[in-house]
Structure 1
Amino acid sequence: MTVARTKDCDAAPEGWRRARGGPSLVEVFRTIRVPTKGTPWRKFVAFLGPGYLVAVGYMDPGNWATSLAGGSKFGYALLFVALLSNIMAIILQSLCARLAIATGRDLAQACRDAYPRWTAWPLWVLAEVAVIATDLAEVIGTAIGLNLLFGIPLEIGVVITALDVFLILWLQTKGFRWIEAFIITLIGVIALCFLVQIAMANPDWSEVIKGFAPTTRIVTNPDMLYLALGIIGATVMPHNLYLHSSIVQTRAFGEGVPEKREALKYATLDSTFALMFALTINASLLILAAAAFNKTGNTGVEELQQAHSLLTPLLGSAIAPSLFGIALLCCGLNSTVTATMAGQIIMEGFIDIRIAAWLRRLVTRSIAIVPAIVVTILYGEGQTAKLLILSQVILSLQLPFAIVPLIHLSASRRRMGELVSPRWLTAIAVLIAVTLIVLNIKIIIDFATG
């Protein structure tokens, strides 16, 4: 159901510069009705959806290389790192929902309104770079999925990925609930594929449980620490912070403080449950690598194609690699939809300009496709993992420029009013930000010197 948009939906809170233009994703702003009466379950269902679009970014093809390498080399030991990084993500995404519900602004709009132009414009440029880097990982992941399933050469596969713009345009004509349903369906397919593969791999479940406990080996072993940093650094995706703060506003919650508090509660539950589901996907990939590769002595698996080719002889079933390819292709398609929306939100929020979605998609995809084609032609398919790693390094560079403004804005009582972030939550977020920034700087230094 749709509802009429409020006349003052574009008004900025007192103390902010006057806003120019309306909300990002204006076509779906406040279009999903939230029942004012009924059971808590009905209200929760009304808010169910945005969290799963956000969760897609935590299981995109860029995360597969680190999970495969970690599981094949160190078994189940890095499951604790996956859990820790997921907890960090839950807290940061809750701040995104808080900012959006309290102010009616997404993170991009909030940055534009709160900071001078000499600060806001560089933040916009860095955010656009992050979207392109995300696209790069999706291009490679989707192309590899097409190659594994249908034998399409990577050079052709990366070009085919540009056609996904038509899928997105079609979904947008159906309404936001259709987009959410599409994403959740593909996530379900991914989960089913990993469930079957793990059952075939027959992991040591006692070791799996131990893997979620912290160990000093992560700090004392340099190789393990490097992969741990890679998992953490690739988990929190900058574009997700902009995305979540916008799509949570598709819900038509009230304007009063009680209604906003209730909306914040259900939006936080939605993202928390969705990210815990994303944790099961990432953990499943790591468990599969540990059970199928590490246990059999294949400790150097990093390339997605290499993992695919090894699954048949190791698991004794021809269906295993097909399931791996299907899951990878679904991850690429899912990430495509959410990155497109994030790109639209970032451009319209920061510089108040609106261009056709298909045009923006073709431009950003073209920028991502060119390096993918160049690498595959010049160096062959075996170098795609290095391109995936490069995309994660670029995202690491941009990460602080999204997290720091988010924490700063959500902790401002002048901007947030009664929904200002509690001091304890801000303190935890600051600790997470410092940790992520330090770890990502180390990744970048290691990448540059290695």
Structure 2
Amino acid sequence: MASALQSAAAPSLGAAYGSVPVPPSGSRLRRFLSFAGPGYLVATGYMDPGNWATALAGGSRFGTALLFVAVLSSLMAVVLQALSARLAFATGRDLAQVCRSAFPPAVSIVFWLVMELAIVATDLAEVIGTAIGLELLTGLPLGAGVILTAFDALLVLAFMRFGFRKLEAFVVALLILIASCFAIELVLARPDMAAVAKGLLPSRELFTNPQMLYIALGILGATVMPHNLYLHSGIVLTRAIGSREIDKRRAIGLAILDSTVALLFALIVNASILVLAAAAFYAHGHFEVAELPDAYRLIAPLLGSTLAPKLFAIALIACGLNSTLTATLAGQIVMEGFVKIRLNPAARRLLTRSIAIVPAVAAIFIGGEATTNSLLVLSQVVLSLTLPFAVVPLVWFTASRTRMGGLVAPRPTTAVAVLIALAIILLNGKLVLDAIVGGG
């Protein structure tokens, strides 16, 4: 059973809260498997179309030289997501609920509106990515594909009825599909493994080549999705744990292990995109591939296989479906946590997606399909601006012994988290400034 502290917290996600039993005894592997799942829902946020675009641009322009940056960004994400899980089990509440209890009502409303904006921006990228995938795979016009994405709310409703573990299983299945698609493409691309190994080490060119530095900042700056920190702190509380501090401490360890493994999986996928771009485009002299349709059209002739672009499109659609589920959950957690408004999952999804579809449809019909990449850039800028509203309170709360008690984050962890938060915020600020003034 969930702890008394958790039950008193009026949790988000309704019946899903504390619905996944955790064996009180048994092997560590058995207990870990009961915790496995939330980390993979979080990991989907690290494989959105914005990440695809930066990985394609980095791989096509600089080969495998930016692999080190991808690894570093994932390690930064591991630290912050671990703090998110720690906050949840230490307080029995998600990040939005802790913010509401700590801030005046007016500040909570501002935070809520900012995070809703972040979720809409994320949804905009998902809409565009899924629509592009459908167009590439089936020939469906981009505008029609954007409108079609509105009906994914039915998918969310179905899985919420089946239970949270079924939803997690569906997400993991799609992640396996995505990874399989890229594994096959890498076999077809036959990357230079010596170059891959060299790319895992930092390059001096990062500090001498402004273009390389800019793309590296893009990879680092888009590392942490702000809504993912709220999402993780809510969905880990679907696990039913005991009320003792030792139970919570064990839960924190298992949840951190789950998210770390999942984020390393996400790293493998993102690294695969970069390595594929290096092998398929950079190695053949195509140095300016940053848009998803361009990558799709170039893969087949360069790799000598008609299967490769189809796999690319399938993986893109799978990413969109996964993000649909996790964005809905994040929206519920944010709305219920900050302002105590609870909507039916399907209604919540339709509301958010409708807001995201309007600018996408308008831009496509007014400016044509060429505007989709601009919309992807816009979504990343919005996420950059909203990031401090997730990272700063998370690091602040987990460093407070008053709030966390004996489960307060260790000082070395807090110090690293502060440096990471400052770095991400500064990098995102630079990217936003460059986007505004036309730098890069």
> If the TM-score is normalised by the length of the shorter chain, which range does it land in?
over 0.9
How do residues 37-52 of structure 1 correspond to structure 2 at under 5 angstroms? Answer: 37-52=25-40
1:413 is matched with: 401
2: CA distance between counterparts of 1:202 and 1:399? 37
CA distance in 1, matches of 2:147, 2:223: 27
Partner of 1:11: 8
Match of 2:170 in 1: 182
**Structure 1 runs (4+) greater than 4 angstroms displaced:** 5-8
Which amino acid in the other structure matches residue 281 of structure 1? V
State the distance in 1 between where 2:6 and 2:172 align: 29
Question: Which residue of 54, 75, 79 maps to 1:87?
Answer: 75
After TM superposition, the structure 1 = structure 2 runs for residues 126-137 of structure 1, keeping only pairs within 5 Å, are 126-137=114-125
Which TM-score applies when normalising by structure 1?
A: 0.96
Question: TM-score normalised to the size of structure 2?
Answer: 0.98
Give 1:51-450 correspondences, 5 Å limit: 51-450=39-438
Q: Which amino acid aligns with 1:230?
A: G
Farther off after superposition, 112-121 or 143-152: 112-121
**CA apart distance, 1:362:** 1.1
**Post-superposition shift, 1:10?**
4.2
Contact map agreement 1:145 1:326 (CA 8 A) in 2: yes
Residues in 1 aligned to 2:349 and 2:391: alpha-carbon distance in whole angstroms: 25
Aligned to 1:15: none
Percent of pairs with identical residues: 58
Rounded to whole Å, the distance in 1 between the matches of 2:366 and 2:72 is: 38
Write out per-residue CA displacement over residues 243-282 of structure 1, whole angstroms, 9 at most, x where no aligned residue: 0000001111111011111101100000000000000000
> Aligned to 1:439, what secondary structure does the other structure show?
helix
- One-letter code aligned to 1:67: A
Count of equivalent residues: 438
RMSD of equivalent CA atoms: 1.0
The answer to whether the 8 Å contact 1:403/1:433 transfers is: yes
Kindly provide the CA deviation profile for residues 108-145 of structure 1, in whole angstroms up to 9, marking residues without a partner as x. Answer: 00000111123222111110000000000000000001
Whether the aligned pair in 2 keeps the contact of 1:303 and 1:382 (CA below 8 Å) is: no
Q: Deviations over 1:319-349 (max 9, x none)?
A: 0000000000000000010001000100000
How far has the Cα of 1:232 moved from its partner? Answer: 1.2
The answer as to whether partners of 2:124 and 2:357 remain within 8 angstroms in 1 is yes
Distance 1:52 1:225 in 2: 30
> Structure 2: which amino acid aligns with 1:100?
A
Q: Distance in 1 between matches of 2:120 and 2:364?
A: 18
Query: Structure 1 stretches of 5 or more lacking a match?
Result: 13-21
Structure 2 residue ranges without an equivalent (≥5)? none
Counterparts of 1:287 and 1:382 in 2: how far apart (Å)? Answer: 26
CA–CA distance in 2 between the matches of 1:374 and 1:121? 29
